[in-house]
């Protein structure tokens, strides 16, 4: 163990240089900015670390796969992505997003944490494990690095289904994870699914003067009525059958959830929240992740400029997202939403889905891989690991885990709660980067034996 730690610490500068090299390459999937160049750089980096590399073309950005043979027949898959969120607003960055800069013990750049930092930390772990084992790896390693995670991984599901044979494995380290505010490692074992849609309605061919509001049908009121029909004031979603397939949390899920610290104070401070949804506090806040949600991302209708304008809007639209629990599917919820609107008399309200959505996924919290990750996490961070049965957001775990035979999935990342992923001044703390590599190295070492 000490040998791995010494290797990583003494080579830290080299890995930070690699991370800087990777972060200096823009790769904004939302607008196809530098993604191909970045995929080539990733292929080059994987090869530099002794992996045999293949880049697969998809309908979107290439998936870069690297593999290295080990002594055990068992294979551990490392999922990462090389694409990043847009860096805007640029003026809020202390140093430019693509000029990686180390200050105050952290490396600042777009992607430094999410997810280029994690990729490089895992390559460092691979080197350290190999060095500690006389040039051999204890198990097979498979790096799968996609380029469309930040836009919802629209093509990776098909890629996995078409390459099941090449991607066969026995477990996976997902992206994300890291430590909580108290420094304890956190393992996230799943993600809610998502269905994002627009609801839109047109009641007239053009806006009318509001002096005729007793006559002309308002698209704003019409949309508002349709939205109101979706959820009651107790946050219960009113679409018939919405909860039909929602898998309730197990006793173990609830036990794990209740062990998690409360983020109440942090959220109150960072987001200025006075009252949480339904007045939830303490443990109820954490348990609420086992509720599916219906969120309004935005509403556009009528005049929104300075002052007022006496019009009746002819057109109105809203963007919504639904977060789904395991066994709910975006397709099913989309069909039920449409059926509900039709039944409720809103057949004039158009529904359009943004992409195909993401399926929910929840890995069993009692697998040997979870135990290994928790134990090695405690060894690295000196605190008992916390197990998060499911995260509130959505990631394409389901696209891998299902087709690959319901493999166990864990996280072992380089993040902490304020690393500004997706925001200006994204950074990775050097200590977190090092610890993330130390943690993954221990998982790579132990995976053959579980």
Q: Which residue among 59, 165, 212, 251 contacts its own copies (CB under 8 A)?
A: 212
Nearest by Cα to 155 from 65, 64, 40, 63: 63
Return the residues of window 241-300 that contact its own copies according to CB under 8 A: 267, 270-277, 280, 285, 288-289, 291, 293-300
**Residues in contact with its own copies, shown as a per-residue x/- string from 179 to 198 under the rule CB under 8 A:** -------------x-x-x-x
Stretch that binds its own copies, among 56-64, 73-81, 164-172, 215-223 (CB under 8 A): 215-223
Q: Helices 35-48 and 12-23: crossing angle, nearest 10°?
A: 160
Min. distance of Cβ 392 from its own copies in angstroms?
4
Residue 17 as a binder of its own copies (CB under 8 A): the answer is no
- Quote the CA–CA distance of 266 and 154 in Å, as a whole number: 33
Chain residues 382-411 in contact with its own copies, contact rule CB under 8 A: 391-394
Q: Are strands 409-411 and 171-174 parallel, antiparallel or unpaired?
A: parallel
Binding mask 408-427 for its own copies (x = CB under 8 A): --------------x-----
CB 79 within 8 A of CB 47: no
HEC letters along 377-413: HHHHHCCCCEEECCECCCCCHHHHHCCCCCCCEEECC
C-alpha distances out from residue 86 to 90, 110, 394, Å: 10, 8, 19
Of residues 168 and 224, the one with the C-beta less far from its own copies: 224
- Containing H/E element for 244? none
Shortest Å distance, C-beta 437 to its own copies: 27
Which of the ranges 128-136, 162-170, 231-239, 373-381 carries the binding residues for its own copies, by CB under 8 A? 231-239
Spatial strand order in the sheet of 427-429: 101-103, 106-108, 427-429
Q: Give the burial string for 51-71 (b: 16+ CB within 10 Å, else e).
A: bebebeebebbbbbbbbbebe
Under the binding rule (CB under 8 A), the answer on residue 357 touching its own copies is no
Interacting residues with its own copies between 289 and 348 (CB under 8 A): 289, 291, 293-304, 307-314, 316, 319, 321, 323
Decide: is 217 part of the binding site for its own copies (CB under 8 A).
yes
Q: Stretches 103-111, 210-218, 248-256, 379-387: which one binds its own copies (CB under 8 A)?
A: 210-218
Is 356 a binding residue for its own copies by CB under 8 A? The answer is: no
């Amino acid at each position: 163990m000490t040998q791995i730690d010494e290797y990583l610490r003494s080579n830290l500068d080299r890995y930070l240089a690699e991370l800087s090299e990777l972060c200096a390459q823009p790769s904004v999937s939302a607008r196809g900015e530098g993604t191909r160049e970045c995929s080539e750089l990733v292929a080059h980096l994987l090869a530099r670390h002794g992996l045999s590399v293949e880049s697969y073309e998809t309908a979107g950005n290439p998936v870069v796969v690297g593999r290295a043979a080990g002594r055990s027949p068992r294979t551990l898959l490392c999922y990462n992505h090389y694409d990043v969120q847009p860096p805007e607003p640029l003026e809020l960055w202390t140093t430019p997003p693509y000029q990686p800069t180390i200050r105050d013990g952290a490396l600042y750049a777009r992607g430094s944490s999410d997810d280029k930092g994690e990729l490089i930390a895992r390559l460092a772990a691979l080197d350290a494990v190999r060095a500690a084992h006389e040039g051999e790896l204890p198990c097979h390693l498979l790096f799968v690095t996609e380029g469309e995670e930040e836009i919802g991984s629209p093509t990776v599901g098909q890629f996995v289904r078409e390459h099941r044979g090449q991607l066969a494995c026995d477990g996976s380290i997902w992206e994300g994870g890291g430590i909580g505010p108290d420094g304890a490692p956190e393992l996230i074992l799943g993600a809610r699914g998502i269905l994002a849609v627009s609801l839109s309605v047109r009641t007239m061919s053009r806006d009318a003067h509001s002096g005729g509001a007793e006559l002309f049908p308002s698209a704003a009121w019409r949309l508002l009525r349709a939205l109101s029909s979706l959820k009651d004031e107790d946050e219960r979603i009113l679409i018939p059958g919405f909860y039909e397939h929602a898998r309730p949390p197990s006793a173990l899920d609830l036990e794990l959830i209740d062990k998690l610290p409360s983020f109440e104070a942090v959220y109150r401070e960072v987001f200025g929240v006075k009252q949480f949804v339904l007045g939830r506090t303490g443990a109820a806040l954490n348990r609420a992740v086992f509720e599916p949600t219906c969120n309004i991302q935005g509403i556009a209708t009528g005049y929104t400029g300075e002052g007022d304008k006496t019009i009746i809007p002819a057109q109105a639209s809203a963007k919504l997202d639904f977060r789904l629990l395991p066994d709910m599917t975006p397709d099913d919820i989309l069909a039920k939403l449409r059926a509900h609107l039709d039944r409720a008399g809103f057949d004039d309200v158009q529904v359009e889905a943004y992409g195909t959505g993401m399926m929910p996924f929840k890995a069993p919290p009692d697998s040997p891989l979870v135990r290994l990750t928790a134990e090695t996490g405690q060894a690295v961070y000196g605190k008992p690991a916390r197990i998060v049965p499911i995260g509130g957001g959505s990631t394409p775990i389901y696209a891998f885990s299902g087709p690959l035979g319901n493999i166990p999935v864990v996280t072992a990342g380089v993040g902490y709660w304020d690393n500004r992923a997706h925001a200006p001044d994204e950074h990775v703390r050097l200590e977190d980067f090092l610890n993330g590599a130390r943690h993954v190295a221990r998982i790579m070492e132990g995976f053959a034996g579980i």
